């Protein structure tokens, strides 16, 4: 029987990050993943945004997450020999003068200062920005498909393309056994699908469907523009535009309604006419309390969870993956706000 330190189920951003962190620490891992073009990490724009939402609030734990994530992904892309991380300003147009005045004040506060480049930067030609806008620092995006594909290839024989069947998982005194492999433990990193596991069924998941468009415009913008929707430049006049939020229809179907909503919002942001070239839907592994689900199963110590990354998997995964790694390696406690122990 083949032996590994850990089996990881799922190779979205969660499975990729924790796998890399464990391997860097000298552990061996087997990743079992069933590729799905609609997996959240495959559909996501990969945006890294320190100040978000209608109210423009600071991302939860931004001061811890952001310094960590830039280092983490730059090192990973260097090791893989790819360019997946793009540091790029995110620009939010002001619709009223009062917003600009507000941000003049806020940008001087310690909380916001490291994330604000400018509060009166003019937008590029072709953007509706009647009162200039807020240009954010430490922002950008991660090319998730490129990263995930390259990482899967780098795993080589330590990657299995297959659907994991929980009924075949055997819990033993030493750890787990699964299809000819034994390991000290198993880490569930299956995105929203983890809610179907009998080990995690009681957790308060709250998956949210999201749709995104790929469009073409007549020109290439330098920045990511964001107000109501984001328009993320992919190069060659292409943009990703998103996203919708729907917690009722949890399926992968693309809808006319979502396309209409996104295009209407885009009209308020961009003056140019878009041509839609693609539309995709995915399901975010969100949670009721909007905090990740990380840690060790209270009854089965060989079973672990790395999930619940919600709407911000790219920003959250490196910092909290490090905590899971430290739990596995040294028994260090996961911080209570994200530890699944909060529900047991
Ligand atoms: C429309 C949309 C836009 C988004 N935009 C952003 C954004 O701009 N920035 C950001 O940070 N986040 C964004 N997100 C959220 C982000 O996608 C998630 O936080 C993150 O991708 C979750 O990663 P994950 O690895 O936990 O799950 P997933 O990406 O779902 O990965 C789970 C993996 O496990 C596999 N799997 C599931 N079941 C099994 C099984 N039984 N056997 C084997 N394999 C299995 C799946 O196929 C998949 O490969 C967006 C999400 C959506 C839907």
Q: What is the CATH number of the domain that holds 265?
A: 3.30.9.10
In a domain, 108, yes or no: no
Residue range 179-193: average pLDDT?
98
Residue range 221-227: average pLDDT?
97
Q: What is the CATH number of the domain that holds 199?
A: 3.50.50.60
Considering only CA atoms, which of 321, 269, 281, 244 is closest in space to residue 73?
Answer: 321
pLDDT band of 92, cuts 50, 70, 90: very high
| Domain match, 251 and 158 both | no
Q: Which two tokens stand for residue 147?
A: 């990263």
As a whole number of angstroms, the distance between CA 135 and CA 66 comes to 17
In a domain, 178, yes or no: yes
pLDDT of residue 293: 98
| Domain match, 251 and 307 both | no
pLDDT of residue 53: 86
Residue with tokens 């260090």: 332
Range of the domain at 227: 208-284
The 10s digit of each residue's pLDDT in 102-159 is 999 999 999 999 999 999 889 999 999 999 999 999 999 999 999 999 999 999 999 9
| Domain match, 149 and 200 both | yes
In a domain, 52, yes or no: no
User: How many angstroms separate the alpha carbon of residue 128 from the centre of ligand 1?
Assistant: 32
User: How many angstroms separate the alpha carbon of residue 263 from the centre of ligand 1?
Assistant: 24
Atom of ligand 1 nearest to the CA of 311: 15
| Domain match, 241 and 183 both | no
Q: Are 187 and 242 in contact (CB under 8 A)?
A: no
Considering only CA atoms, which of 257, 177, 274, 174 is closest in space to residue 221?
Answer: 274
| Domain match, 184 and 213 both | no
40 lines ligand 1 (CB under 6 A): yes
140 lines ligand 1 (CB under 6 A): no
Of 266, 284, 302, at which residue does a domain stop?
284
The 3 state secondary structure assigned to 32-100 is EECCCCCCHHHHCCCEECCEECCCCEECCCHHHHHHHHHHHHHHHHHHHCCCCEEECCEEEECCCHHHH
Helix (H) or strand (E) holding 284: strand 275-284
232 lines ligand 1 (CB under 6 A): no
159 vs 13, 152, 155, CA distance in Å?
A: 15, 7, 6
Name the domain count of the chain: 2
Q: Are 42 and 145 in contact (CB under 8 A)?
A: yes
In a domain, 125, yes or no: no
In a domain, 117, yes or no: no
User: How many angstroms separate the alpha carbon of residue 40 from the centre of ligand 1?
Assistant: 3
In a domain, 105, yes or no: no
Residue range 38-61: average pLDDT?
95
Mean pLDDT of the chain: 97
Residue with tokens 């110590």: 301
Residue range 171-200: average pLDDT?
97
195 lines ligand 1 (CB under 6 A): no
As a whole number of angstroms, the distance between CA 263 and CA 28 comes to 46
| Domain match, 197 and 217 both | no
Q: Give the pairing type, strands 181-188 and 303-307.
A: parallel
Q: Are 293 and 191 in contact (CB under 8 A)?
A: no
In a domain, 250, yes or no: yes
Q: Are 317 and 14 in contact (CB under 8 A)?
A: yes
| Domain match, 279 and 212 both | yes
| Domain match, 196 and 152 both | yes
pLDDT band of 55, cuts 50, 70, 90: confident
| Domain match, 221 and 277 both | yes
137 lines ligand 1 (CB under 6 A): no
In a domain, 161, yes or no: yes
203, pLDDT greater than 90: yes
Residue range 42-59: average pLDDT?
94
| Domain match, 166 and 190 both | yes
Considering only CA atoms, which of 210, 208, 276, 213 is closest in space to residue 247?
Answer: 208
| Domain match, 161 and 279 both | no
44 lines ligand 1 (CB under 6 A): yes
Of 234, 264, 284, at which residue does a domain stop?
284
Residue range 227-234: average pLDDT?
97
Considering only CA atoms, which of 309, 251, 247 is closest in space to residue 280?
Answer: 251
Q: Are 51 and 57 in contact (CB under 8 A)?
A: yes
189 lines ligand 1 (CB under 6 A): yes
54, pLDDT greater than 90: no
Q: Which two tokens stand for residue 331?
A: 């028994």
User: How many angstroms separate the alpha carbon of residue 305 from the centre of ligand 1?
Assistant: 14
| Domain match, 197 and 304 both | yes
The 10s digit of each residue's pLDDT in 313-326 is 999 999 999 999 99
For ligand 1, atom 15, name the residue with the nearest CA: 311
């Amino acid at each position: 029987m083949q032996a590994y330190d850990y089996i990881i189920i799922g190779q979205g951003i969660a499975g990729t990050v924790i796998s890399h962190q464990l391997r860097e620490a000298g552990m061996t891992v087997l990743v079992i993943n069933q590729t799905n073009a609609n997996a959240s990490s495959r559909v996501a724009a990969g945006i890294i945004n320190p100040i978000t939402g209608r109210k423009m609030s600071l991302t939860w734990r931004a001061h811890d997450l952001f310094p960590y994530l830039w280092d983490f992904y730059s090192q990973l892309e260097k090791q893989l020999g790819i360019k997946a991380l793009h540091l790029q300003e995110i620009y939010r147009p002001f619709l009223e003068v009062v917003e600009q005045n507000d941000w003049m004040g806020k940008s001087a506060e310690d909380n916001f200062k490291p994330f604000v480049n400018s509060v009166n930067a003019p937008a590029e030609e072709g953007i509706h920005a009647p009162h200039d806008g807020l240009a954010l620092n430490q922002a950008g995006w991660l090319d998730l498909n490129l990263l995930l594909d390259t990482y899967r290839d780098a795993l080589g024989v330590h990657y299995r393309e297959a659907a994991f069947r929980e009924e075949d998982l055997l819990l033993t005194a030493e750890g787990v056994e699964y299809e000819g492999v034994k390991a000290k433990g198993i880490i569930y990193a299956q995105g929203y699908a983890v809610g179907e596991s009998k080990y995690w069924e009681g957790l308060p998941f709250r998956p949210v469907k999201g749709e995104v468009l790929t469009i073409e415009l007549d020109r290439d913008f330098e920045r990511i523009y964001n107000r109501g929707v984001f328009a993320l430049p992919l190069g060659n006049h292409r943009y990703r535009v998103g996203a919708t939020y729907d917690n009722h229809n949890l399926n992968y179907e693309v809808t006319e309604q979502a396309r209409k909503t996104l295009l209407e919002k885009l009209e308020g942001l961009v003056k140019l006419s878009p041509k839609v070239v693609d539309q995709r839907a995915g399901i975010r592994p969100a949670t009721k309390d909007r905090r990740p689900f990380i840690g060790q199963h209270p009854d089965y110590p060989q079973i672990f969870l790395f999930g619940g990354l919600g709407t911000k998997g790219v920003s959250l995964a490196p910092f909290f993956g490090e905590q899971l790694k430290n739990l596995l390696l040294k028994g260090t406690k996961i911080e209570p706000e994200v530890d699944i122990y909060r529900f047991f």
